[in-house]
Chain A
Amino acid sequence: MAEPPLLIGRDLGFAADGKILVQGLSLTVEPGTLQVMIGPNGAGKSTLLRLLCGELRPTAGSVAYAGEPVAGIPAWRLATLRAVLPQQARVAFPFAVAEVARIGLDGIGRGLTRRDRETILVQALKQADILHLAERAYPGLSGGEQARVQFARVLCQLAAGRTVAAGQVLFLDEPTASLDLRHQSAILDAVDDLRRTGVGVVAILHDLNLAAVYADTLLVLDGGRLVARGAPDAILRDDLIAEVFGVRWPVGRVPPGGKPFILPTRVLPQGNSTTG
């Protein structure tokens, strides 16, 4: 018996101030999958993510969680069905690290015992490698440490949501952007573990090599449209990279015939990036 998709986005379109940001995009999130959106700046990746998580209402098309239109799901229940890791989150007041992470538990974890909540919190802090920072004030941390606190907060939300809802989707907006190498792989390994437990993951990544290693499906966006979709080895090719990103960076394989990788060479003169 096939499991129903966790999330379906159909023919999604979004326009703001007369500018079309996303157009004709469809996407299905199955349990236990990790899809990665790649594309140049302004391709519509973040907008698509905000449409899928219910933050923005699409101007065309529809989003449904387990068959239920997202517009009809109250915020508190939506929070049990999906979690979102933002690119960066400023915290205006000197909350301690553990307090920020605990915010992920406060709403949907109300049914849990205090002991369970504490277990989830400590587990999340450990997984995000910030247990040693638990008492520190969030605003004083480095960007990378703050990103890990947000990840712990998201882990708390997912763990609490799991006690209430069956299928969950995790959205990540550039989760590795401010992390050092060790924490880049640590966070993506943790995400991969979540995927194994049945969470459907949709991530935005700019590092194509990380995308190639961790994604089972790549979604290539450009100009608000989906220009390619498929397994990394199938779609990461020189011509796609040149066309979408405007760089002539050859795609290699490690080992030969294995995972694709991309190293910089030089920027195409006619590309939209300039070399000053």
Chain B
Amino acid sequence: MRARRRSGLIFAGLTLLVAAVAVLSVGVGAVPIPPSRIVNLVAHASADPASARDALVILNIRLPRTLLGLMVGAGLAVSGALMQGLFRNPLADPALVGVSAGAGLAAATIIVLGDGVLRSLGLPGPLPYAVLPAGAFLGGLAATLGLTLVATRSGRTSVTTMLLAGIALGALTGAMTGLLVFASNDRQLRDLTFWSLGSLGGASWTKVAATAPAILPVLAAVPFLGRGLNALVLGEAEAFHLGIPVERLKRAAILLVAVAVGAGVAAAGVIGFVGLVVPHALRLAIGPDHRRLLPAAALLGGALLVLADVAARLVVAPAELPIGIVTALVGAPVFLWLLLSGQRGFDG
């Protein structure tokens, strides 16, 4: 029962962390706005022009950016926890289901070839902005579906086959993306690089509105998967013996990950390490029970990504670092540290 009280405390702490990080993220940037003024400003925008400008910054730029970061981070971390549970491997990553590879290739194709295709069709350019995220989302889904088909034989999806096929697919899409990079001009190369390193910079209410319908349902579905994933930890046959419809659970988890990560990549590019590190760290703090792990991953993933975004905005202000650089710079050493210090996170 001590563990129960402890995890209650941790959940309360995580919720506070999300709130604090959100306030920080709204207040920090080219125009600093102290936390005390934020609530005041949003609640009743005053006639004072400085306040009006602050309110505008908050409402149109920082609030959507923060919300987008919370959603994308939550989606990535939850997807990581789902994948690790599904593959019964603490090193599994959302990228394993091929969604990042598919989304990345689709994005590269659209960036490099999009305008050319338009021109050859005799249509006026440039490509509408929404084509890129939509294409990335669909590319990610298509890659995951393809991998699932490859790994499914007579109604059973083999996660091992999926993992190995995922590696092959990753190499293939990597090579094709490389070809596109080779064929790209300078502007396209810059877009590609920015995309592959991730950024919340383009956040807008439109993006929030496009991302929410994909990620929020995934987060809502997560509480229903905890019990099944716990049983799956014993093995697929054992989970079936315990009454879990294993094949349905696997397909549901894969689909949810594809949707959440696909939407995340579409909105903010490819962001690594959040899906890997967050579930790991949480397992050390609250134990491996997926019924606690999945919701906690949503909170911590959201908070950390927004925090990384704050850092990305501050470090080289007024310019911005791609957020993927921040998550990898911080995530990789943290992961290594968890690996070496927290043997409890592994099966040893």
Contact = CB atoms under 8 A, between A and B. Distances in A.
B51 interface: no
Nearest 10 pairs between A and B by C-beta? A79-B243, A93-B288, A92-B88, A76-B243, A139-B347, A84-B241, A107-B243, A75-B245, A75-B243, A89-B234
B188 interface: no
Given A55-B240, A75-B240, A107 B88 contact: no
Of B88, B238, B240, B246, the most chain A CB neighbours within 10 A belong to B238
A107 B227 contact: yes
Interface in B71-125: 88-90
Interface in A44-96: 50, 53-55, 74-80, 82-84, 86, 89-96
Interface string A234-275: 000000000000000000000000000000000000000000
Contact of B244 (A50, A75, A99): A75
5 contacts: A79-B241, A86-B237, A91-B347, A94-B283, A95-B288
Given A91-B347, A94-B345, A95-B289, A53 B230 contact: no
A106 interface: yes
A214 B253 CA distance: 43
Interface in B263-315: 283, 287-289
A146 B242 CA distance: 18
Interface string B224-257: 0001001101110110111111100000000000
A79 B244 CA distance: 9
Interface size class of B (residues with CB under 8 A): 20 to 34
Given A86-B235, A89-B234, A107 B242 contact: yes
Contacts of B287: 94-96, 99
Contact of B90 (A80, A90, A93, A153): A93
A25 interface: no
A67 B333 CA distance: 59
Interface of B: 88-90, 227, 230-231, 233-235, 237-238, 240-246, 283, 287-289, 344-348
A100 interface: yes
A91 B242 contact: no
A91 B233 contact: yes
A157 B238 CA distance: 12
A86 B243 contact: no
A104 interface: yes
Contacts of B238: 84, 86, 89
A43 B145 CA distance: 39
